[in-house]
Amino acid sequence: DKAQELIEQGLILPTEQVFQAPGGATTRKVIYKIYYHYTYPLCDTIQEPELKAKFIEDKNGHILPYVHFEGGRMDLREEALAILREIANAKD
């Protein structure tokens, strides 16, 4: 796996994120940000989605905003499909 190789070579470094719940509890999570120049094109956008602001209100009344994507259309590129096929065939 290319991403794992990049991490093992030290080209992609871990970033620790700390999430704090409304009650004060914290959770730590390590993420890896893969730089664009290591990626491949996924799709071509045919129709842009509409972005809508939404929120969830938790039991303590805290507002948790997020963006909701509605509609839109994309066509997967052949390179992305080939990688998906390769992964599927490797499992057989």
pLDDT on residue 62:
82
pLDDT on residue 59:
81
pTM attached to this predicted model: 0.55
Mean pLDDT by 10 residues, the chain (92 residues): 92 92 82 92 95 90 92 96 91 76
Dihedral of the alpha carbons of 20, 21, 26, 32, in degrees to the nearest 10: -60
pLDDT on residue 77:
96
65 CB-side CA count, 13 A? 4
